[in-house]
Amino acid sequence: MRIFKLFVVLLIALGVIVACAPAPTPVPTPAPPTAAPKPTDAPKPTAVPATAAPQPTTAPQPTAAPKPTEAPKPAATVNITVWYPLPTAGTLKEAMDALVAKFNAANQGVKVELVLTGNYGQNFEKILASASANTLPDAAMVELLQIPQLASANQLLALDDLSKDADFKFDDLAPALLGNSYWNNKLYAIPWQRSTTMMFINRDAFKAAGLDPDKPPLTWDDARKMSQTLLAKNANAYPMTGAIASDWAFEGQLLSFGGSLLSKDGKTATYNSPEALTAVNVWRDMSQKDKTLSIRGFNDFGAVVTDFIAGKNVMLMHSIFSRAQIERDAKFDWDVAAIPGGPAGPVLNAGGGNFVIFGKTTPEKQKAAWTFLKWMTAPENTAEYSIKSGYLPVRTSALKVQAMVDYGKQSPKTLKAIELAFKYGKSRAVSAVFEKAINQYMNPALQDILLGTAEPKAALDAAAKKSNDALQ
């Protein structure tokens, strides 16, 4: 046993000795033989690219001269035709011709041909005939009472949008002249050759009769008294006269007594009212009883001015435009004044014509016509026409135009007349059938009454009944 144990111990000791012995050193692996490097080939010389021989330089081609720039072609001129109610000669025609020539020279894009068409009535008849034949011009001037009839027949261009042009300055138009430019709340016309009624007095005759010419009559009571004084001084002359047997003068008289020709809705004739009877009887009494008022018909519209200038009458009821003729021809000291009035005060009834543009002309011509209307109603141009013609300027700013200021210094009566017109001016009645329903019956009745051949109430009642039948 002991031998066995000793043998085990010897085995263990031998294991320990083996475990603790150092590891044997590795034998280096012999490197493989390296192939000898091949000799490097000498670099081939770089081929030099062959350079093309320079081509001979081509002489530059001569530069072509630039073509001259063509001047821009002017816009094509738009030719328009404007009908105008004037006689073929005289101061008014000369004034209009001068303005149209100036417009054509200054506005290369528009050329206006002004065609004269007689008086207002003849002008309107031609317009109605041309409307039926579809041959209307591009624009026209028409008497203000005729505007509603043309507008209601869709013959006119509404100007509301055009009038908003900033350079037109609509608010500068005289308010007293705009009332008859509308129909059914639309603007169809621009005032131009406008007037009001006006009274002219012979200052020398006033002084000779012991009357103060600076205090002309403002009421019919005063007019009646002064007329008797004047008649006493000169029994061979009627102190007052006028072509007043017509709707224009009578409407002003009626308005001054608080009446009107038509009801506000335009459907009833009211020219036979109590106010109308009072108004017409004032004139009738002065004419028939006092023999101080010479009443003439509308056909004597020019003759009464001639008579006044000749000294046959002391006070003349007429249009403001006759101021130019009186100023030129009268050999006595004269003046302007308001026409005497009734309880509502003096009224200077509006009159004259307005420019219109026809609705069926082309848009291009409508635009050209508007250019013409704007130019004509510019302050300096309406001032020029007022000075030459005697009509009212249609803009309040025209009174500040230097030419008008200078003219006012030479002729203070002109400025006085304009101030009176703007102060007492009233618009006329508006009806699309004024001529057909009112004038056709009222004017003959007025003439019969004022000439003393008919009783006022019976004549006015009969005429008004016919008017009302026509208005239905």
Residue 4 pLDDT greater than 50, yes or no: no
Taking residues 124-138, what's their average pLDDT? 96
pLDDT in tens, 151-177: 999 999 999 999 999 999 999 999 888
CA dihedral 262, 267, 273, 277 (to 10 degrees): 50
Where does the pLDDT of residue 25 fall: very low under 50, low under 70, confident under 90, or very high at 90 and above?
very low
Q: Pairing relation of β-strands 78-84 and 139-143? A: parallel
Residue 97 pLDDT greater than 70, yes or no: yes
Sort 24 into a burial class: Cβ within 10 Å, 0-12 / 13-18 / 19+: exposed
Which of the pair, 60 or 82, is modelled with greater confidence? 82
Q: How far apart are alpha carbons 167 and 385 in whole angstroms?
A: 20
Amino acid type, 179: G
Which of the pair, 403 or 14, is modelled with greater confidence? 403
Closest CA to 155 of 181, 179, 128: 128
pLDDT in tens, 173-214: 998 888 889 999 999 999 999 999 999 999 999 999 999 999
Q: Ramachandran region of residue 352, left (φ > 0), alpha (ψ -120 to 50) or beta?
A: left
Do the Cβ atoms of 341 and 347 come closer than 8 Å?
Answer: yes
pLDDT of 409 reads: 93
Where does the pLDDT of residue 16 fall: very low under 50, low under 70, confident under 90, or very high at 90 and above?
very low
pLDDT in tens, 233-267: 998 889 999 999 989 999 999 999 999 999 988 89
- Determine the 3-state secondary structure of 392 from DSSP: strand
Q: How far apart are alpha carbons 159 and 209 in whole angstroms?
A: 52
pLDDT of 24 reads: 40
| Owner of token pair 């908003």 | 164
Q: How far apart are alpha carbons 166 and 154 in whole angstroms?
A: 27
Number of H helices, E strands in the chain: 17, 12
pLDDT of 34 reads: 46
Taking residues 69-91, what's their average pLDDT? 82
pLDDT in tens, 405-439: 999 999 899 999 999 998 999 989 888 888 889 99
pLDDT of 399 reads: 93
pLDDT in tens, 289-315: 999 999 988 788 889 999 999 999 999
Which of the pair, 179 or 381, is modelled with greater confidence? 381
What is the reported pTM?
0.76
The dihedral of CA 119, 160, 167, 179: what is its sign? Answer: positive
